[in-house]
Structure 1
Amino acid sequence: RSEPFIGAPVVGRLLRGQTYAVIGRDADARWFLLQLSGFQGWAWGYYLFINGNEFNAPIVGPFSTSGQPASSTGIVVQSQDGIRLRAAPTVASEQIGRIGWGEILPVIGRTADGGWYQTEWLGTIGWIAAPLVRVIEGDPMTAPVTG
């Protein structure tokens, strides 16, 4: 994949039994950046056999393979459960998406009290409850108040 999350575009396929160079990993060593024939891509560690200590690879995430932050605010969070993407910052709001566990999300805004973060998921802008994510990069309270 082009980035270390399930929703990222597929950039290639791994072949069973083949060996690939690990050139990086995310902070939790769940996603690994691999060198393939002429390009790089992210693979979920569950499907890999890592020869050696997976924590020896340098941390590359939560950035894309281009090295650019996933968020214009510099704030990035990771879902800690299957969470609902909502149209507005309230549990009564319409569910407009479902985000799986471990996904990396940019924070583009927040509520005044910091209880909800505005994010973009698979091209859809919506709201996620702050207690259901872990901050990876930045301080969400510095994000602009957008809701």
Structure 2
Amino acid sequence: MYQPPDEARESVREWFVRYDALAERGAVEEMADLAVFPLNLATDVPGGPAAVASWSREEFVRTMSEAVGGGAAMESVRTPHFLSENLVVVITEAAVTVDGERQEMTYADVLVRTAEGWAFQTMAQGGWGHGWVPARRG
């Protein structure tokens, strides 16, 4: 099992500090700058099946503008699980407040190391699948 040095753990923590600050300001275009597209998304429909999609930058910006465009306050505890020096799965326990409404959630992000540093490439979170085609098996 890969054991990251403290500097790698700190670099992931710093990446999320930056991302959360952007979300707090509703800076969706800048949030998109921290991703690799197409961005994979795994989710579900409450009471229904899982759903998967690959978002373009435009789809990410449109959807996240609706979700946090006015800004979102986040309180979170993140646990990174390094698969290698260049791949990390981060499990987040969060409370997000948007427009005075607080929601608690658990989600996972897959970050990949690029030439520019960390970028997120996959998001997994329940409840975003409304209107999507359900997941299919090959």
TM-score range, shorter chain: under 0.3
Which is greater in Rg? 1
Higher-helix-fraction structure: 2
What TM-score, normalized to structure 2? Answer: 0.24
Higher-strand-fraction structure: 2
* Higher relative contact order (Cα pairs below 8 Å, separated by 6+ residues): 2
